[in-house]
Structure 1
């Protein structure tokens, strides 16, 4: 069974002043932390970037990595829903684990627990972590490639919210705390003070 992962990299962060995936933590770009977490658990990794300019920047960092495909959004500046739509076009698996490039603390327990759902007969279009307070994590989720058609409909209506989309499809919500008791896998770095 092929296991796929899609890593979403948005554009430049206003608060960070530059592209978050390329910001260094412990001397290495954030995206490499994410990819290193995934590489022992999946057969293919699709990195979705905003445009060719961003792709050229990331190629310098990602060029020597195997089992990695770098693609750009089919339509620029449409947000993470477009990133998921684009990534699902290139995957070989029925389900793909989608994660953001600004979550460098994604851990083995989270990945194993999420991928365990692949061995079950789900029939679901998505598996989405949900916190005890009700907050969902649609950018740390598994998606079936069949949702591409539904995403396309949303995008053509200029609807871009991943959270709204997930609530409209056949999604299974699983406890974020069960998937990763530390919750570190869901930590996004959004300000310079979080990195230093």
Structure 2
């Protein structure tokens, strides 16, 4: 049974990294495995941490890594540490998120990847504070998603206009007429398809349509986000359709998008006061990344 006063973190350790060629969470950054860096960032307010792995062998491996680390320092973590195996195999991080959310004892869980060793305890603390504040402002909060954006540059606006003119003849056949006039909505939807990184913001999201009008989303951080426990049901439904992209999840639930520090703007940050640095989202994807740090 979920406890609304509890705070849970779910760490995704997945499987073998294709780009790295080996298990990333066990690789060392400054002589310490990456999974340990993430665990050390967990704040005292967190009651439980669930580590999701893809098989029993890797569960045993990670237990050994963590036990050896704690024994060496003669210390204990102040949270309940749980190891779980992916409920559905070969479905990427979506399966890990689903498995973790189904098993948390709290109402919400913060998802973290094992290959982000620069996650700070301040980030974790702030994410739950943001959750509580947004819950006090809105109903039905399913997800808290950090994101990056940039202002549209003048030349981008010009290019967009030129693209619309260039595609006008091509799209004309596809545009339906309503009362003798072109359906502009159809044209806008066609143009949006060209931006692969753009995500439609739900009108109920924290950043309202009017606020976002002059901005485009460059990137969301769905693997550093908070999700409500019962969203695992949405993930189950998506996986049944073989939809494994995490961005499909945040588009399917009532998500609230929060801004990363470097992109803060007084006009868009009137309600929440928080501090989120982009360093929290730095992933280690290649061996050269480790060499540069070590």
Tell me which interval the TM-score lies in, with the shorter structure as reference length: over 0.9
Equivalent position of 1:168 in the other structure: 252
Is the CA contact 2:13–2:25 (under 8 Å) kept in the aligned structure 1? yes
Give the TM-score, by structure 1 length.
0.94
The equivalent residue for 1:104 is 117
Q: In structure 1, what is the equivalent of residue 84 of structure 2?
A: 71
The corresponding residue for 1:130 is 147
Gaps of 5+ in 2: 71-75, 151-216, 265-273
Asked which structure has the greater CA Rg, the reply is 2
Does residue 91 of structure 1 match 2:116? Answer: no
For the aligned residue pairs, the C-alpha RMSD in angstroms reads 1.6
CA distance in 2 between partners of 1:181 and 1:170 (Å): 22
Name the residue aligned to 2:194.
none
Q: Which residue of 1 aligns with 2:177?
A: none
Name which of 201, 220, 223 aligns with 1:139: 223
Check whether the contact 1:48–1:73 (CA below 8 A) recurs between aligned residues. Answer: yes
Task: Please give the alpha-carbon distance, in whole angstroms, between the structure 2 residues aligned to 1:23 and 1:69.
Answer: 21
Unaligned 5+ runs, structure 1: none
Aligned residue pairs, count: 196
Q: 2:131–2:144: 8 Å Cα contact kept in structure 1? A: no
- TM-score w.r.t. the length of structure 2 is 0.64
Rounded to whole Å, the distance in 1 between the matches of 2:12 and 2:275 is 20
**In structure 2, distance between residues paired with 1:136 and 1:49:** 24
Deviations 1:8-46 (A, max 9, x none): 011111222210000001111001000110143411000
